[in-house]
């Protein structure tokens, strides 16, 4: 599917006006900013459709084509729909959903399509299915349907407080709600869709998920399923699990196997010259980013633009066939080159692209730049004493400036959740006490009253708020004036913006989730803590604090950082100053990331076939690798590196604990764990029977806190993945599945219509990707009030319609209208005028209802992260061109301008 999209970035399309601007595509692609486009209020039908399309095929991923191309589409969808219906969540489930995490459900749908897996892929099957390649994905989808059942979610994790909170934060309602809506709107499709949806997050692929992830309800946590069979493993755990929930970690993992990575570079290339940005602006040729643009353009020449990526995939895949599942890196490269070669135009373009690209990103030891100049970093201003005293046992206490500064850090956090957390208070007290000294009169934190400082702080805030616009402008300009010199670097002669040129100010550490170090004092960073990296020929930045000096000045052009210091919270780690996301270095890195995802598209079939084959491998390690890869592919799970005990207890695929996965007969798995940033992942999916069986075997004989994959760690997993495809690591699957999903959804759901309608399609696709990746956000504080407000307005409008109908009846009889509810006499309107007014009011109600539903649907879904980090911008650009959608409608200006590639 998306393959092509990946393959060729750009769009081709013939589309008219855009053609000239093709380059636009390019630039966009590698920029990083993202923003979510504004979301529209309409309910999206799309989602339903998407769901419908779930691919059932188990096969190893057949190449996908663009649904658009296929004529059968409707038929297929109908079929699906029928299947889906059953899957639909019951209304009750919908309600429950509120509690659950919405994400999951939706994900599943998409996932299925993506992977083509709705079910477990059987290798053989897949092969057979190749014949279907020419069909649109949607057509090929199977209806697994069942899956969609909602689950009661439970968030099972009740275990940790946090978990609970999270579940609350992300009520499932959304997904369920959405689904329901969808169904209602398009019955047929929805039915189809359902299937997918069920899966939640990952769904995509293979499994069906039950999906709904009703967090709340699930009370059972991941208990193991009885099934356990087998053997088990050993496995001591590194970290004790806490409660059954996610947090447990335990296991001891094995050493990582390191494998020499093969450089994946795609060579081809050449590079680009000046290009234009999406808007047709001239790009700076000097920047490397441009290359991308050029590439894109050429692609356009292919004329494929009008073809959705998905549809283009087939050809690619065929090309790829030459490459075996385990191509050596060189082989892989070769294959990709070949593919490109088929299309001469593209080839040329691609090659330019490659050339333009710079060296690989991090870790490759290659030179990242030739010359680098910058002015160092800017430090926060010294602490300014306010003199407000806290109370200890009711009495004012004198504090030194240093003690007062830290007390203020704590006082201003009074309204945050941290303030109440024992761990936060304990860590803060331990650090503050050191500053107070042994003989200080303050003997305990609980006897301290920080209210005076808090009130002072609030007043300062209010004062600032009351400043006039002019005053604010002046302050802003002054700040800009001071910072201007630190904001830019000149890399290889090109002026590039620096990302975080401000040194982090001192404060209290705000770790996410139940971080063991929350509340600790993050000390002030001084010049003597900072190492500067700059070109040999460039002048060494002057230390901005008189009398002090940098810790060290280096001239290392194999790295991209401009400065770093040790993290005061975890001295083993560092804080780096890098160029901004819009820089050429970042753009290049992004380009490589998306190219790798494209490459994966060409190998995904054989990779899926390979892991499917190993589901019942006698070698436990191989079986674990197969199952873990399947989960990463299907559910878009993160790899799951080992963590230290002084970090929040979160897990990824390789670090899943037995208690994080519950087997639900006959072949469903319920996942419940805390992932990155302690975001809860709850999802029930239907998996291949062999996977289900294997999970039971991995759990057998272990406690809930033991590692599920005790024979595995990310190093081993990635070593294995690299044997399948050069440069392949676990995270590539996330990028791949996100981009493919975007492409698939856009291809499938875009219909003729006006721009706003198309933008809705894009947003829905973005939403699906966010769901797959489990990108969540907390519900805004004002959400409830906003929804309530809309509900009140809708009710008022309904009352108005009632009155208007009465007036209409009277008008038809030649009578005057009744008095208004406000006691005033209403105008005498003709029946026609009244009918028109009724229609208008009805329209308003419908719009508000859509707004309300969209608001509800999106309240826990964060679109920005996927847009910035996972969705290949070339897909977006190509789609915009094909459908005459101004790029700024889906990607904000900032993003477009950021030059990551663009140009700047």
Partner DNA sequence: ATCTGCACTTAGGAGTTCTCTA
Partner DNA sequence: TAGAGAACTCCTAAGTGCAGAT
**Residues with catalytic function:** 870
Asked if residue 333 lies in contact with residue 266, where contact means CB atoms within 8 angstroms, the answer is yes
* Sole binder of DNA in the list 342, 367, 472, 812 (CB under 7 A): 472
Q: How far is the CB of 650 from DNA (least distance, A)?
A: 3
Which one, 125 or 331, has the nearer CB to DNA? 331
The stretch among 36-44, 129-137, 281-289, 346-354 that binds DNA (CB under 7 A) is: 36-44
643-672: which residues touch DNA (CB under 7 A)?
A: 643, 647-648, 650, 652
Which residue, among 860, 688, 769, 816, has the nearest Cα to 169 in the 3D structure?
Answer: 860
756-to-40, 293, 678, 759 alpha-carbon distances in Å: 8, 27, 36, 5
Asked if residue 34 lies in contact with residue 864, where contact means CB atoms within 8 angstroms, the answer is yes
**Phi, psi (deg, nearest 5) at residue 822:** -90, 5
Which one, 125 or 793, has the nearer CB to DNA? 793
User: At 849, is the secondary structure helix, strand, or coil?
Assistant: helix
Q: How far is the CB of 756 from DNA (least distance, A)?
A: 12
217-256: which residues touch DNA (CB under 7 A)?
A: 254-256
Which one, 270 or 776, has the nearer CB to DNA? 776
The stretch among 106-114, 345-353, 359-367, 608-616 that binds DNA (CB under 7 A) is: 359-367
* Sole binder of DNA in the list 288, 376, 527, 675 (CB under 7 A): 675
Measured CA to CA, the distance from residue 325 to residue 127 in angstroms comes to 14
Is 386 a binder of DNA (CB under 7 A)?
Answer: no
Is 82 a binder of DNA (CB under 7 A)?
Answer: no
317-356: which residues touch DNA (CB under 7 A)?
A: none
Is 789 a binder of DNA (CB under 7 A)?
Answer: yes
Measured CA to CA, the distance from residue 550 to residue 176 in angstroms comes to 55
Is 676 a binder of DNA (CB under 7 A)?
Answer: yes
Cα 263 to the center of its chain, rounded Å: 27
The stretch among 8-16, 91-99, 772-780, 803-811 that binds DNA (CB under 7 A) is: 772-780
Half-sphere exposure for 474 (CA within 13 Å, toward CB): 5
Q: Which residues contact 701 (CB under 8 A, 6 or more apart)?
A: 228, 230, 231, 232, 233
User: At 684, is the secondary structure helix, strand, or coil?
Assistant: strand
Is 590 a binder of DNA (CB under 7 A)?
Answer: yes
Give strand pairing partners of 448: 392
DSSP 207-224: -EE--BB-BTT--S-SPP
State the number of binding residues for DNA (CB under 7 A): 102
Q: How far is the CB of 743 from DNA (least distance, A)?
A: 17
Measured CA to CA, the distance from residue 876 to residue 870 in angstroms comes to 12
Is 560 a binder of DNA (CB under 7 A)?
Answer: yes
Q: How far is the CB of 773 from DNA (least distance, A)?
A: 6
The stretch among 10-18, 210-218, 275-283, 558-566 that binds DNA (CB under 7 A) is: 558-566
391-430: which residues touch DNA (CB under 7 A)?
A: 416
* Sole binder of DNA in the list 33, 70, 201, 203 (CB under 7 A): 33
Give strand pairing partners of 637: none
Q: How far is the CB of 749 from DNA (least distance, A)?
A: 20
Q: How far is the CB of 331 from DNA (least distance, A)?
A: 18
* Sole binder of DNA in the list 895, 899, 901, 902 (CB under 7 A): 895
Is 206 a binder of DNA (CB under 7 A)?
Answer: no
The stretch among 89-97, 202-210, 275-283, 784-792 that binds DNA (CB under 7 A) is: 784-792
Is 826 a binder of DNA (CB under 7 A)?
Answer: no
Burial (CB count within 10 angstroms: exposed 0-12, middle 13-18, buried 19+), residue 180 = buried
Is 773 a binder of DNA (CB under 7 A)?
Answer: yes
Which one, 319 or 741, has the nearer CB to DNA? 741
830-889: which residues touch DNA (CB under 7 A)?
A: 855, 862, 864-866, 869-870
153-172: which residues touch DNA (CB under 7 A)?
A: 169
Which one, 347 or 870, has the nearer CB to DNA? 870
The stretch among 141-149, 544-552, 660-668, 725-733 that binds DNA (CB under 7 A) is: 725-733
**Phi, psi (deg, nearest 5) at residue 580:** -70, 165
Measured CA to CA, the distance from residue 248 to residue 71 in angstroms comes to 50
Binding mask 253-282 for DNA (x = CB under 7 A): -xxxxxxxx---------------------
Q: How far is the CB of 301 from DNA (least distance, A)?
A: 29
Asked if residue 199 lies in contact with residue 109, where contact means CB atoms within 8 angstroms, the answer is yes
Rg of the chain (C-alpha set): 29
Q: How far is the CB of 730 from DNA (least distance, A)?
A: 4
Q: How far is the CB of 132 from DNA (least distance, A)?
A: 31
Is 292 a binder of DNA (CB under 7 A)?
Answer: no
Asked if residue 606 lies in contact with residue 724, where contact means CB atoms within 8 angstroms, the answer is yes
Is 772 a binder of DNA (CB under 7 A)?
Answer: no
Measured torsion, CA atoms of residues 801, 803, 805, 810, in degrees rounded to the nearest 10:
-160
The stretch among 106-114, 172-180, 401-409, 780-788 that binds DNA (CB under 7 A) is: 780-788
Which residue, among 204, 61, 55, has the nearest Cα to 130 in the 3D structure?
Answer: 61
CA angle, 446 then 452 then 457, to 5°: 115
Q: What stretches of 486-554 adopt beta strand conformation (E)? A: 488-491, 494-497, 507-508, 521-522, 531-533, 552-554
Q: How far is the CB of 897 from DNA (least distance, A)?
A: 8
Asked if residue 875 lies in contact with residue 742, where contact means CB atoms within 8 angstroms, the answer is yes
Task: Give the 3-state secondary structure percentages of the chain, helix then strand then coil, rounded to 5.
Answer: 50, 10, 40
Asked if residue 611 lies in contact with residue 629, where contact means CB atoms within 8 angstroms, the answer is yes
677-706: which residues touch DNA (CB under 7 A)?
A: 677-679
* Sole binder of DNA in the list 240, 303, 361, 831 (CB under 7 A): 361
CA angle, 448 then 453 then 458, to 5°: 135
């Amino acid at each position: 599917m998306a393959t092509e999209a990946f393959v060729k970035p750009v769009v081709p399309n013939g589309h008219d006006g855009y053609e000239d601007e093709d380059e636009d595509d390019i630039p966009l692609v590698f920029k990083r900013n993202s923003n979510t486009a504004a979301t529209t209020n309409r309910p999206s039908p799309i989602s339903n459709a998407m769901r419908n399309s779930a691919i059932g095929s188990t096969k190893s991923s057949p190449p996908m084509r663009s649904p658009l191309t296929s004529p059968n589409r409707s038929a297929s969808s109908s079929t699906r729909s029928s299947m889906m219906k059953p899957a639909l969540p019951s209304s009750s489930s919908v309600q429950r959903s509120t509690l659950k995490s919405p994400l999951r459900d939706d994900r599943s749908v998409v996932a299925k399509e993506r992977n083509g897996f709705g079910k477990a892929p059987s290798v053989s099957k897949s092969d057979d299915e190749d014949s279907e390649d020419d069909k649109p994905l949607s057509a090929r989808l199977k209806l697994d349907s069942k899956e969609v059942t909602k689950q009661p979610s439970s968030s099972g994790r009740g275990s940790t407080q946090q978990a609970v909170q999270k579940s609350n934060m992300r009520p499932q309602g959304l997904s369920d709600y959405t689904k329901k809506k969808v169904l209602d709107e398009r019955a047929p499709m929805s039915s189809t869709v359902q299937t997918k949806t069920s899966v939640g997050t990952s769904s995509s692929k293979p499994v069906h998920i039950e999906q709904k992830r009703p967090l709340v309800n699930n009370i059972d946590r991941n208990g193991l399923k009885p099934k356990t069979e087998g053997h088990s493993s050993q496995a001591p755990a590194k970290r004790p699990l806490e409660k059954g929930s996610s947090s447990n970690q335990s296991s001891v993992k094995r050493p990582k196997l390191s494998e020499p990575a093969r450089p994946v570079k795609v060579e081809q290339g050449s590079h680009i010259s000046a290009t234009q940005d999406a808007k047709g602006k001239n790009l700076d040729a000097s920047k490397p980013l441009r290359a991308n643009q050029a590439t894109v353009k050429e692609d356009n020449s292919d004329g494929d633009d009008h073809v959705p990526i998905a549809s283009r995939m087939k050809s690619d895949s065929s090309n790829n066939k030459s490459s075996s599942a385990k191509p050596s890196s060189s082989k892989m490269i070769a294959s990709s080159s070949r593919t490109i070669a088929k299309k001469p135009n593209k080839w040329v373009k691609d090659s330019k692209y490659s050339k333009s690209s710079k060296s690989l990103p991090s870790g490759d030891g290659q030179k990242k730049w030739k010359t680098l100049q910058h002015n160092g970093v800017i430090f926060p201003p010294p602490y300014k004493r306010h003199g407000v005293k806290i109370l200890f046992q009711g009495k004012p206490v004198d504090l030194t400036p240093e003690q007062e500064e830290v007390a203020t850090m704590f006082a201003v956090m009074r309204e945050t959740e941290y303030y109440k957390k024992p761990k936060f208070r304990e860590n803060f007290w331990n650090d503050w006490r050191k500053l107070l000294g042994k003989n200080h009169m303050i003997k305990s934190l609980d006897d301290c009253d920080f209210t005076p400082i808090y009130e002072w702080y609030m007043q300062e805030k209010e004062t600032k708020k009351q400043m006039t616009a002019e005053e604010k402008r002046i302050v802003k300009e002054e700040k800009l004036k001071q910072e201007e010199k630190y904001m830019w670097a000149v890399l290889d002669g090109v002026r590039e913006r620096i990302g975080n040129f401000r040194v982090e100010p001192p404060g209290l550490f705000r770790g996410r989730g139940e971080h063991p170090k929350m509340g600790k004092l993050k000390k002030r960073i001084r010049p003597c803590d900072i190492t500067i990296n700059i070109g040999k020929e460039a002048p060494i930045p002057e230390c901005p604090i008189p009398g002090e000096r940098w810790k060290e000045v280096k001239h290392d052009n194999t790295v991209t950082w401009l400065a770093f210091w040790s993290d005061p919270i975890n001295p083993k780690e560092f804080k780096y100053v890098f160029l901004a996301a819009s820089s050429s270095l970042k753009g290049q890195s992004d380009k490589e990331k998306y190219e790798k995802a494209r490459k994966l598209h060409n190998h995904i079939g054989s990779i899926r076939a390979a892991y499917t084959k190993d589901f019942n491998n006698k070698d436990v390690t191989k079986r674990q690798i197969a199952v873990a890869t399947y989960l990463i592919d299907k559910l878009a799970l993160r790899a799951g590196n080992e963590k230290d005990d002084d970090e929040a207890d979160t897990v990824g695929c390789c670090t899943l604990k037995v208690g994080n996965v519950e087997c639900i007969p006959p072949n469903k798995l319920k996942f419940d764990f805390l992932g990155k940033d302690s975001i809860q992942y709850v999802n029930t999916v239907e998996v291949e029977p062999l996977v289900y069986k294997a999970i039971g075997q991995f759990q057998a004989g272990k406690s809930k806190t033991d590692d599920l994959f005790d024979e595995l760690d990310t190093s081993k997993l990635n070593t294995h993945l690299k044997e399948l495809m050069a440069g392949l690591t676990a995270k590539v699957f996330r990028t791949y599945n996100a981009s493919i999903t975007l492409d698939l959804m856009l291809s499938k759901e875009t219909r003729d219509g006006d721009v706003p309608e198309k933008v809705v399609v894009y947003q829905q696709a973005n939403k699906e990707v966010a769901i797959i990746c489990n990108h969540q956000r907390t519900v805004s504080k004002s959400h409830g009030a906003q929804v309530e407000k809309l509900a009140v307005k809708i009710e008022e409008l309904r009352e108005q319609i009632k009155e208007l109908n009465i007036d209409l009846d009277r008008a038809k009889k030649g009578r005057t209208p009744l008095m208004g509810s406000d006691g005033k006499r209403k105008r005498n309107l003709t029946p026609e005028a009244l009918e028109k007014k009724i229609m208008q009011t009805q329209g308003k109600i419908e719009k508000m209802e859509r707004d309300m539903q969209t608001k509800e649907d999106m309240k826990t879904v964060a679109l920005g992260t996927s847009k910035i980090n996972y969705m290949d911008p070339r897909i977006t650009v190509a789609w915009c061109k094909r459908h005459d959608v101004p790029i700024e409608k889906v990607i904000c200006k900032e993003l477009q301008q950021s030059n990551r590639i663009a140009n700047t």
